Amino acid sequence: MCGIAGLVSNCSSVTADRETLRLMCDAISHRGPDDEGYFFSGPVGLGIRRLSIIDLATGHQPIHNEDSTVQLVFNGEIYNYLELRPELEARGHKFYTRTDTEVIVHAYEEYGEACVEKLRGMFGLALWDERQQSLLLAVDRFGIKPLYYFGERRGHHLWVGAEKPACFLRPSAAARSILARWPQYFALGYIPPPATIYKSTQKLSPGCVFAVDGRGRRSRAAVLGFI
């Protein structure tokens, strides 16, 4: 179990707040006591608190591709990474770790957003494409590894976290205090995603892929199929 977090603005003149992202990761530090890592580039920041399981020595995140234009923070486990890796190596991709995480990076290079369809496992991920200036979020087909996000209209920020507390450091008080969905909770015993009990905070539905480009345009792909 790892804790991932991120923030991005669709305004290129805005620089990601390093201290804020560190505080976001500190809020979920219990998810990853072994390591921490950060990536910052202009309006985007990605962070992780890592619980080391596979490749303890070289598995430091964020993980990147050969020219560092793709950056990834990842929580979970990819069960078929040993099958995918030789396929990607045969296509010319160069690996620098033995982690399942790096397989995702090179699969994205090869297949784009469709790479998520090839993954079998439990995962929550946030991937930044420097060339496309886009942020890709995805969760596994059963939603075992959650991702929450909050869109702040003022400042055009998107906040992402493996747990809700990571998103609650700076956004408006409404995101923290307006409990809008009690009827659903009492009727069903839970809040169906993408809604959460907090009015302004959403949760990726199981098998959902969510992308934000550099202009702030959002797209949500179809739920992942089973393979």
pLDDT tens digits, residue range 128-175? 999 999 999 999 999 999 999 887 655 567 889 888 777 766 555 344
Q: How far apart are the first and last CA of the chain?
A: 24
Asked if the model's pLDDT at residue 58 lies above 70, the reply is: no
11 counts as catalytic: no
Select which of 2, 115, 167, 208 is catalytic: 2
* pLDDT for the residue 50: 79
Architecture of domain 3-220: 4-Layer Sandwich (3.60)
- The distance from CA 83 to its chain's CA centroid, rounded to whole angstroms, is 23
Task: Supply φ then ψ for residue 63, to 5 degrees.
Answer: -95, 140
Task: Supply φ then ψ for residue 103, to 5 degrees.
Answer: -60, -40
Ordered by start, the domain boundaries in the chain are: 3-220
pLDDT band, residue 223 (cuts 50/70/90): low
Residues in the chain: 227
pTM of the model: 0.88
